[in-house]
Amino acid sequence: MKEPEHQQNTEEMMQQVRLKANELLLREEWEQSIQTYTHFISLCQTHISNPKTRPDQKLQKSLCLAFSNRAEARLKTRDFDGSLKDCDEALKIENTHFKTLMCKGKILLNLDRYSMALNCFKIANLDHLCNADSETLNGYLEKCKKLEFLSRSGAFDFSNWVLNGFKGKIPELAEYIGAVEIKKSEISGRGLVATKNIDYGSLLLVTKAIATERGILPQSKTEDLGENAQMVMWKNFVDKVVESTSNCKRTHALISMLSVGENEESLEVPDISVLRPESGQDCSFSNEKIDMGVMLNILDVNSLVEETFAAKFSGKKGDYHGVGIWVLASFVNHSCNPNAKRFHIGDHVIVHASRDIKEGEEITLGYFDVFSPLKTRKEMAKNWGFDCHCKRCKFETDISLKHEMGEIEMGYELGVDVCTTVYKLEESMKRWMVRGKMKGYLRASFWKVYSEVFVSEKLMMKWGRRVPPMEVVVDSVVEAVGGDERVLRVVIEGVKRIGGGGLAEMEKMMKLGRGVYGKVMKKQALRSILS
C-alpha cells in the first residue's frame, strides 16, 4: 500500500475512534469513553511521532480535546489524579484551552484546592469570548473566592440557614484549620493541641470526609433485619473509601497515616500542614495498595457516627444513620471532661471549643454521653475499646470508694427522689471538701437529677434553699465538661419559670449557646434557636 493511502486509512480510523469516544461521552458511559479516548490518544501520539508524518495542527487540537474529554470522564468516575494528568497534557498542547481549564478548576475545587482552582478559572476568563458560558464561569470564580476566604479566615456564618428553619441549600463550607497542631498525646497516640488560648465557642476546624455512607435503618422487631442493614451500610462505606484511596494518591497517603489501634506510641507525628488541601505535598505519596485487613482496622478505629446539623439543632428525630471518615477529626481523642464539640453539615465535620482552652491544652471530644455516671461511662468506653484515664474518671474512681457515694449511686439507679439525691450529693461534697472543677465533674455525672429539680417549680419551692442555685451548678458543670444542649435547655426553662429574665439572663444564655453551637451564627439566629 502506498504511503499516502496508508496515511489516509489511518486518519479515517482515528476519526471513527474519536467520534465513537465522543458518542460514549455524550451518553455518559464514562468507563467506555475513557477506554476509547485512550485508544484515540495512543493512535494520535503514534501518528505524530512518526518522522514521515507532516506536522498537523488540526491533529494536535484533536489530541488536546481528547485529553480534555478523557479528563472530564475521569472526573465523573472520581479519578482525580488521572483527570488532573489529562488536563496537564492538554494544557501542554494549548495552555489557554478553555474547556480544559474549566475541567481542571472543577477537579481542584473538588479537592478543596481553592486558590489553584481560582487561578484556573481566572486564566479561562481572560481568553473567554463565548457569552454562553459566562454565567457558569463567573459562578465558579465567585465560589472559589468565597471558599478561599473561608478557608483562610474561618469566618463561617450559618445565620440565614438557621433563620430559614434549616431548609433549602445547606451553607457552602471550606476546609479550615484553626489554632491547632498535631502532637504526641498524653491520652493516646497522637492528638490535636491548641497553639494559643482559644475562647469559648471559637471554631477549631472544618474538615471534609474522605467518604460517607448514610441511610434510614429499619425499626423492626427483627434484630437480624437491622443488623443486616447496618452491615450493608458498612460494606458500602468501605467500598467508597477503597475507591477514594485508589483514585487519589493524597487520599491514600492521608488514610495510611491513621492508626490501626496498635503501637500508638511508635506512630509518626505528621506536620498539620500536610492535611491542608493546598499543601501540594502529593509527589512523594506511595502507590502501594493498602491491605484490606489494615484498611478495616483503620476504619474501625477512626470512623465517626454521624448526626446532621439540622437533626441536632431543630430537634428532629428519626431513624437516620450515617458513618464517615474525617482524617483531621480522627486525631481528636476522647475525654470525659471534653473541651470541644462537633456537628455535621453535609460531608463536613465542624469542631468548636465548648469551653475556654489554654495554649498547649489537648483538644478533646466526648465519644459518648459524658453526662452519665462513672459506671455508665466505663461501660461505654469499654464498648469503644478503651479505658478512660482522664482527670475526671480518676477523681470519680477515688470518690466511688466512699460508702456514701455508693449509697447515692444506688439511689440514683433505683430512681430515689431526685431532690434527696441532689441534697445528699451536695452535703457529701461539703464533708469531702470537694472544690472547683471536681464539683462540676460530680454534678455532670448526676445532671439528670439536677435538671429535674431545676425545671420543676414545685420542687424548687420545696427544696430551693437546700440545693445550690441553678446558676452555680450550671457554671461549675460547664467549666468542668463544656457546654451541652441539655444544660442550656434547663437554663432556658429556668429563665421562663421566673418570668423571662432580663438582659443579664439573656447574655448568659447567649454565652452558653456559643459553647453549644459555636460562633457560626449572628445573635439573631442564635436567639431563634434559644427561643
pLDDT category at 263 given cuts 50, 70, 90 is confident
Q: Is 50 exceeded by the pLDDT of residue 283? A: no
The CA distance from 487 to 473, in Å, is 10
Q: Which fold has domain 5-153?
A: 1.25.40
Q: Could you say which DSSP state residue 357 is in?
A: B
Report whether CATH 2.170.270.10 matches the domain 168-365: yes
Q: Which residue has the higher pLDDT, 197 or 386?
A: 197
* Same fold yes or no, 5-153 and 168-365: no
The overall average pLDDT reported for the chain is 88
The CA distance from 153 to 431, in Å, is 49
Q: Is 70 exceeded by the pLDDT of residue 309? A: no
pLDDT category at 3 given cuts 50, 70, 90 is low
- Look at residue 166 in the predicted model and tell me its pLDDT: 85
- 349-377 average pLDDT score: 95
- Look at residue 145 in the predicted model and tell me its pLDDT: 96
Neighbours of 382 (CB within 10 A): 11
Residue 194 · residue 338 · CB < 8 Å: no
**Domain extents in the chain:** 5-153, 168-365, 374-530
The CA distance from 264 to 260, in Å, is 8
Three-state secondary-structure class, residue 154 = coil
- Look at residue 457 in the predicted model and tell me its pLDDT: 83
- Look at residue 197 in the predicted model and tell me its pLDDT: 98
Q: Is 50 exceeded by the pLDDT of residue 449? A: yes
Q: Could you say which DSSP state residue 362 is in?
A: B
- Computed over its alpha carbons, how large is the radius of gyration of the chain? 29
Q: Which residue has the higher pLDDT, 457 or 426?
A: 426
- Tens of pLDDT, residue by residue over 211-233, are 999 887 766 555 566 678 888 99
- 48-61 average pLDDT score: 79
Question: Left (φ > 0), alpha (ψ -120 to 50) or beta: where does 348 sit?
Answer: beta
- pLDDT exceeding 90 applies to what percent of the chain? 63
- Tens of pLDDT, residue by residue over 381-436, are 998 889 999 999 999 999 999 999 999 998 888 888 888 999 999 999 999 999 98
pLDDT category at 365 given cuts 50, 70, 90 is very high
Residue entry with cell 465548648: 354
Q: Is 80 exceeded by the pLDDT of residue 526? A: yes
- Look at residue 464 in the predicted model and tell me its pLDDT: 72
Residue 252 · residue 291 · CB < 8 Å: no
Which among 322, 323, 348, 309 is positioned nearest to 147, based on CA atoms? 348
